[in-house]
Amino acid sequence: MKYLNIALSAASLASAVVLPEADAGKVNYDGYKLVHVETSDDGRSSIFSTASTLADTITLQGCDHGEHVDFAVPAHEFDAFNALGLNATVVEEDLGAAIAAEGPLVPFEAPEAAALPSATWFNAYHSYADHLSFLKSVQAAFPSNSEIFTVGQTYEKRDITGIHLWGSGGKDSKPVVYYHATVHAREWIATMVAEYLLYQLVSGYSNGTTSTFLDNFDFYIIPVVNPDGFVYSQQSTRLWRKNRQVRSGISAVGTDINRNWPNHWDTPGGASTTPSAEDYKGEAACDTPECKVLTTFSNKIAAKNGIRWYIDFHSYAKDILLPYGYSCSARVANLAAQQSLANSMKTTIAQAYGTQFTAGPICSTIYQATGGSTDYLTDTTKVTYAWAIELRGTSFVLPADQIVPSGIEIWNGVKAILPKLV
C-alpha cells in the first residue's frame, strides 16, 4: 500500500500544554485520545492528508499492518476529527492517563557485589542513566564471559552502549547474534525486552540452561540504540520517535534513524523528505552520526564469523518482520528459510499467553520502508536472518506490568530459534 509521509507538526507539539512542578518541561498529553483509523475504505495517504487539516492532531508513524493508521487527537480537536468522517476507533481515551499508568521511572538498585541485579528491574521502566547502571551491573556479575562495548557517539555525544556475551570458546569465537532495541525513542518496551533476554541468558549460564546458547554464539545486545531520542522522550516528549539531530537551515529537529541506513535510501515511497515528518530520512544516505557508527560497528562484528541473527526490537504491532522493507517485490534469497523460522517463532510466542504475531516480509506485511537497518544488514553486512520484531501493545505507551509477559513470550521464541541456527 502506498505510504504517504506526513509531518508530525512541530506546532502540534509546541502547542501542547507544558506542565509545572515535577513534570516541568514535559509535553502534557492529558485529554489526548489515541485513535486507530481503518484503512480499508481510504488509502493511508488520503487519511493522512485529511487529518492534516487539524493543526494539533499528531500523526503517529507505524505500528499497523496496513490496516489502520494512528493519531493522537487533543480534546479541543476531537469533534472536528469526528467530523472528518473517518472510520475511527478510540483505543486510548486519555493518553495522559495512559502515560501516568506506565508508572514512575524506578531507580536502579545496586545488588550485592558480583550478584545479578534483582529481577524486580522488569517491574518498571527506568531512566537512561539507570539502564547504563543495569548493564554495568550485569557485566560485573558475569565478568569472565562479557564486556561492555561502545559503538560510537550520537549527535548529542552520548555513547551508544551495549554488552557482548560469549561462552566456553572464548570471546569472538562464534557467529554473532545481534540485538538492537529502541531505535525509535518512544518504544520503551523494546529496551526492557532486550534486557530481559540479556538477563535470561546470563542468569541461566551457571545452571546450564543457557550455556549452549552462549557456547554457540557471541551475543551483542544494544538496549538503547537511540539514547538522545530516548532521553528526550523521558524528559520532554513521551511520543518522540527520531534522533535529536539539528541541521543547518532546517528548523525541525530529528531524523528517523531507521530510514537513514544506506540501503535503497533513494527509492521513493518508503520514507519522508520532509524534515518535520516522523519518518524523515535525512538529507543524504547515512548522514546521521548514529547510522555512521552503527554501520561501521555492524560490519566490524560480522567480519570474523558473520552475524547469524539480527533483531531490531520495536513496538507495537505484534509482528516478526523479515527483509525487505524497501520493495514488496524484491525477494531475499533465503526467504523460505526465513519464513519457516519466523513461523516457528510465532507459534512459540503464542504458547505462553496466546499473543498472535504475524510473520512476513516488512513491505508486504506492514508498509514500504526504505533505509531500514534490516535491509542494510541483509545486503551489506550479509546477516543470515535480519529481522525487526514489533512487540505487543495497542499503543507506544504500555503499562509496566506488560514488561514481564512481553519478555517471557519473546524469550520463549528466542529459545526456540537459537538451536535451529547452529
Q: What is the 3-state secondary structure (H, E, C) of 301-368?
A: HHCCCCEEEEEEEEECCCEEEECCCCCCCCCCCCHHHHHHHHHHHHHHHHHHHCCCCEEEEHHHHCCC
Select the span of 106-114, 117-125, 178-186, 354-362 touching Zn ion (CB under 5 A): 178-186
Minimum separation from the CB atom of position 337 to Zn ion (A): 25
Q: What residues line the site for ligand 0X9 (CB under 6 A)?
A: 61-63, 184, 187, 258, 314, 321, 325, 362, 369, 372-375, 388, 390
Nearer to ligand 0X9, 31 or 66 (CB): 66
Minimum separation from the CB atom of position 147 to Zn ion (A): 28
369 is in the binding site of which of Zn ion, ligand 0X9, none (Cβ under 5 to 8 A by kind)? Answer: ligand 0X9
List phi, psi (to 5°) of 138: -60, -40
- Cα–Cα distance between 354 and 317 in angstroms, integer? 15
Nearer to ligand 0X9, 175 or 372 (CB): 372
- Lay out the site mask for Zn ion across 290-329 (x = CB under 5 A, - = otherwise): ------------------------x---------------
| Residue 295 three-state SS | helix
Minimum separation from the CB atom of position 270 to ligand 0X9 (A): 8
Active site residue 195: no
Sheet of strand 88-92: strand arrangement: 58-60, 68-73, 33-38, 88-92
Nearer to ligand 0X9, 289 or 393 (CB): 393
Nearer to ligand 0X9, 117 or 371 (CB): 371
Q: Show the CA angle centred on residue 196, arms to residues 66 and 209, nearest 5°.
A: 120
Minimum separation from the CB atom of position 222 to Zn ion (A): 14
- Cα–Cα distance between 7 and 38 in angstroms, integer? 20
Dig out the grid coordinates for 206 from the structure. 551457571
Number of other CB atoms surrounding residue 88 within 10 Å: 21
223 is in the binding site of which of Zn ion, ligand 0X9, none (Cβ under 5 to 8 A by kind)? Answer: none
Q: Would you tell me which residues interact with Zn ion (CB under 5 A)?
A: 184, 314
- List, by residue number, the catalytic residues: 390
